[in-house]
Amino acid sequence: MSEIVRLEVADGIGTIILDRPKMNALDADMQRRLVAVAEEATERDDVKAVILWGGERVFAAGADVKEMAGMSYTDMTAHVRLLQKFTRALAAIPKPTVAAITGFALGGGLETALCCDFRVVADNAKLGQPEIALGIIPGAGGTQRLPRLVGPAKAKDIIFTGRFVDAQEALAIGLADRVVPAAEVLATAQALVAPFVNGPTQALRAAKEAVDKGLETDLSTGLEIEAQLFAGLFATRDQKSGMRSFVDNGPGKATFEGI
């Protein structure tokens, strides 16, 4: 696999690294490779949590406009499937995920970050969906994931105007979960997911699935999804050891196997 997208694993954390100088523009090749590494991170048992990292300079400045500029309607009806395929693949990773954002996360870059469970943002970062200035709209999930995260009115403001959101506003509206100095972004992301590495893997997977699928449906159906996933965890060894530890030793002392 090309080094422009790679998965590095250490201490149970898989870091998906974007490395296409100079701005990590997400061209079709990069999108395909993101699908592949998302599937790899999903399948590898030694990966318990995932960080998406664009490097110290920039997260991703967006899709490759030069590549798309000459496309026809027919071309784009095919290409938009890839745009949504790579973001769906990232969102479907059944493990805790965090985007570590420095510099710009714009357009497809922000849509990539929106696929993660959490976002750690540098205090000088800029986030946004500036597609409107190109005469288009977000096409890799921005019109759907952003309003689910920050609410429809704020999402429309960001999408309609195409303006950049600074780190403090991102934190205030729930687009960022942590804001730290740029030099601390990666370490903060690692610290955020580190507690999940030795956690109850199946319960974490079920919790993520229950929240994500529940957001896509009505309350009654969401409660049924929760009930089925909840009951299913009683087939795991972690549930047995977790409850036994609670009864014998009190809360917070269980050791989990991830099975």
What would the two tokens of residue 233 be?
A: 């965890």
The amino acid at 258: G
Say how far apart CA 83 and CA 26 lie, in whole Å. Answer: 9
* Phi/psi at 194 (5° precision): -55, -40
What would the two tokens of residue 235 be?
A: 């087939």
* Phi/psi at 230 (5° precision): -60, -50
- From the number of C-beta atoms within 10 Å of its C-beta (0-12, 13-18, 19+), residue 194 rates as middle
CA nearest neighbour of 108 among 131, 133, 89: 131
CA nearest neighbour of 28 among 2, 52, 53: 2
Q: Which residues, other chains included, contact 30 with Cβ-Cβ below 8 Å and sequence gap of 6+? A: 4, 5, 18, 20, 24, 64
Give the residue numbers marked as catalytic: 111, 131
